[in-house]
Chains A and B, each alone.
Chain A
């Protein structure tokens, strides 16, 4: 069994890592990481707007933000993939690649989840900070972007890392629309070998596990560090409940 996994890795590690590149399209783990990094980076500004909308004093901004967030939280990711897959070509008039479809989906989906993380971060900053900033003559924008958000985002760093883990796991669904990412590559290997499904898929699971659990450990370490700084004490064992990665 273990020798099987070893042989499969030895024969296919290039395919799993970068796909057919440079003789063909980039694929494998490289695409998984590219999708996750680009997806989360592009989702970030959107999520800040959504979070600000969600805590806005004006109902006209609050309502649409809440609708977006609840829709994303209530509908499976696969459904979003199909919506983007059919709807974007209809909107712009040309077909788009599987990669773009997946990227747009991840941005939409993560923006909503990240917005809730950022909202919690903003609400975690004591209100005295806002009051002090306003008393010093700063406007809403300045207060938000120079005082509240920088502190909130710093405190939210662990939660962002675990959101990154969720994003990596979500990109595995690219398999459903044949995006050339890690799960798809493993499936290709499985269909060429035919007789070794268990070693192939346990290997795939272990690759994801290695990558994601490393990042989860990083999130826990960050959380301990930040908690120490905030409380000014050493050796605080933090409650790690909110850095547990969400299922995807």
Chain B
């Protein structure tokens, strides 16, 4: 077995454009899905804190569903299944626009929001109830006590899992290729099947994925360091 690597292949044809557009789509997908996951995750964590039995139960079902069904199946369900429930005019509207991109954002964002809400919740639960009592005794309102006393501590505790879930979200965007979103994995397969330079193509994209993942992990570690509570 002898392998000669020739990375200049990747500069031929319109391969550079495919790779750059793939990376751009991947980053957009990650960004939008992350924002959706965070917004929904915070909302779900708050709902679960309300002590309303029905709200708690609804959130629990939502979280269980999204944690126990494969992300790929969620994506397929959103892309192939959900549009058929909509009125014809809306289906047409989706078909004319890049609906695969939109549904990938919804599927990945909603799926990961379950994990985000769980790590926020366990962060909040780790704060002793006495903190809230003390803050209220000092005259802070419930909202002010939450915002100034509870959440800053809870976020510090939740930060490591939030970071690892962000990496997972980023990795999961690669599944969007199954419904034809032209992100990096999709572009890689295109280039590979046109150029037959499998190893060079896959080495490049693997390096890009790994680089961005490590960057997210490093950013998380830096944040943790920056906001660590100084103890002696």
Interface residues, chain A, with chain B CB atoms under 8 Å away:
70-71, 73-79, 82-83, 86-87, 90-91, 165, 168-170, 172-173, 175-176, 183, 187, 190, 197-202, 204-205, 208-209, 212-213, 216, 239, 241, 244-248
Closest residue of chain B to A70 (Cβ to Cβ) is B214
Additional pairs, 18, CB under 8 Å, beyond known A74-B209, A198-B81, A202-B81: A70-B214, A75-B206, A79-B209, A169-B70, A170-B70, A172-B72, A173-B70, A175-B178, A197-B80, A197-B81, A198-B77, A198-B82, A205-B77, A208-B73, A239-B122, A241-B122, A244-B118, A248-B70
Structural contact, B168 and A247, CB atoms closer than 8 A: yes
Q: Known: A209-B68, A244-B115, A248-B70. Is A202-B205 also a contact (CB below 8 A)?
A: no
Q: Known: A79-B174, A245-B68. Is A74-B167 also a contact (CB below 8 A)?
A: yes
Name the prevailing secondary structure of the A interface residues: helix
Docked pose: A77 CA to B72 CA in angstroms: 12
Determine how close the nearest CB of chain B comes to the CB of A236; give it in whole angstroms: 15
Structural contact, B115 and A208, CB atoms closer than 8 A: no
Structural contact, A247 and B209, CB atoms closer than 8 A: no
Interface residues, chain B, with chain A CB atoms under 8 Å away:
1, 3, 64-65, 67-74, 76-77, 80-82, 84-85, 111-112, 115, 118-119, 122, 125-126, 161, 165, 167-169, 171-172, 174-175, 177-178, 185, 188-189, 198-199, 202, 205-206, 209-210, 213-214, 217
Number of cross-chain contacts by CB at 8 Å: 137
Structural contact, B168 and A246, CB atoms closer than 8 A: yes
Q: Known: A172-B72, A205-B77. Is A78-B206 also a contact (CB below 8 A)?
A: no
Give the residues in chain B near A173, CB-CB below 8 Å: 70, 72, 175
Looking at the complex, which one of B74, B118, B171 makes contact with A75 (CB distance below 8 Å)? B171
Give the interface centre of A169, A200, A245 by most chain B CB atoms within 10 Å: A169
A-B contact pairs, 16 of them (CB 8 A): A70-B210, A76-B209, A77-B171, A79-B185, A79-B205, A87-B199, A165-B68, A173-B72, A175-B72, A183-B73, A201-B80, A208-B70, A212-B69, A216-B67, A241-B122, A241-B161
